[in-house]
Structure 1
């Protein structure tokens, strides 16, 4: 089995690699402590020595390595919590000493764990998945997607049941209508400037930040 860990970006830098002979029951660990926070992908190539058949699998994952975060990087990660944390919680996290940041982050999510006592924290996983989706799909210029109006609504409520998109209208700027049928909610976003900045115009004054 051959495997390597790469950064999940355009550079695709290999940060770790290895090769070993394993059986179906074998397990092994990959050292990740030295990696900086960011997105990575594990690429594993399997070869059946008896049949010479090969297969390749890719697993994407993210790392928060608090010991290797700069102050700016840590602040950026804490600010991701803006739609789920109280203002005083954000301030407390930002003022946490370097050596206690990882523990403070862990305790923040433990207080919200819907299934305490289990390895998974479903709320944290879903929240961070929504943040990642927002950043991938709603970013524009130098504004991260989670700070846009569409990102705000997506993170708060998840994917809408229906999106009515009007990117090319003769008598109006581009706009989208998001409908959440189970919640009886409708949101309208308009790209007034034509640069991809869809502003929330309905409901008027709807603001979480």
Structure 2
């Protein structure tokens, strides 16, 4: 939890473990792969985490406001937010 608190803190008054990234990290551990990109169309960041544990699962985090606060917008992991059309509502 300390790693999440130290690494994913981006909002005043909110611990890193309380963020979407922090929660996922605590629950599933470090991702097998991580792809950080910036959308050329809108200049906002997308951070995609891939896990390869008993299958291949992705978590997509989006910095909707460009402030460094990432929201989980889609995942293929059962029980997590599933929204394959997240790009239609993200912008």
TM-score by length of structure 2 reads 0.74
Q: Please name the residue that 2:24 is paired with.
A: 153
- CA drift of 1:206 comes to 2.4
Aligned residues: 76
- CA drift of 1:136 comes to 0.9
The answer to whether residue 41 in structure 2 is matched with residue 171 in structure 1 is yes
Instruction: Supply the distance in 1 between the matched residues of 2:57 and 2:39 (Cα, whole angstroms).
Output: 24
> Is contact 2:6-2:16 (8 Å) kept?
yes
Measured against aligned partners, the alpha-carbon deviations of 1:113-169 in whole angstroms (never above 9, x if no partner) come to xxxxxxxxxxxxxxxxxx111111110131210000000100000000000011x33
Kindly indicate which of the two structures has a greater share of residues assigned to helix.
1
Question: Larger radius of gyration, structure 1 or 2?
Answer: 1
Where does the alignment leave 5 or more consecutive residues of structure 2 unmatched? 82-91
Please give the secondary structure, in 2, of the residue aligned with 1:151.
helix
Match of 1:189 among 50, 61, 68: 61
RMSD: 1.9
Q: Please name the residue that 2:80 is paired with.
A: 206
Instruction: Supply the distance in 2 between the matched residues of 1:138 and 1:175 (Cα, whole angstroms).
Output: 15
Instruction: Supply the distance in 2 between the matched residues of 1:200 and 1:187 (Cα, whole angstroms).
Output: 7
Where does the alignment leave 5 or more consecutive residues of structure 1 unmatched? 1-130
Please give the secondary structure, in 1, of the residue aligned with 2:60.
strand
Q: After TM superposition, where is structure 1 displaced by more than 3 Å over at least 4 residues in a row?
A: none
Please give the secondary structure, in 2, of the residue aligned with 1:180.
strand
Measured against aligned partners, the alpha-carbon deviations of 1:72-116 in whole angstroms (never above 9, x if no partner) come to xxxxxxxxxxxxxxxxxxxxxxxxxxxxxxxxxxxxxxxxxxxxx
Instruction: Supply the distance in 1 between the matched residues of 2:11 and 2:20 (Cα, whole angstroms).
Output: 14
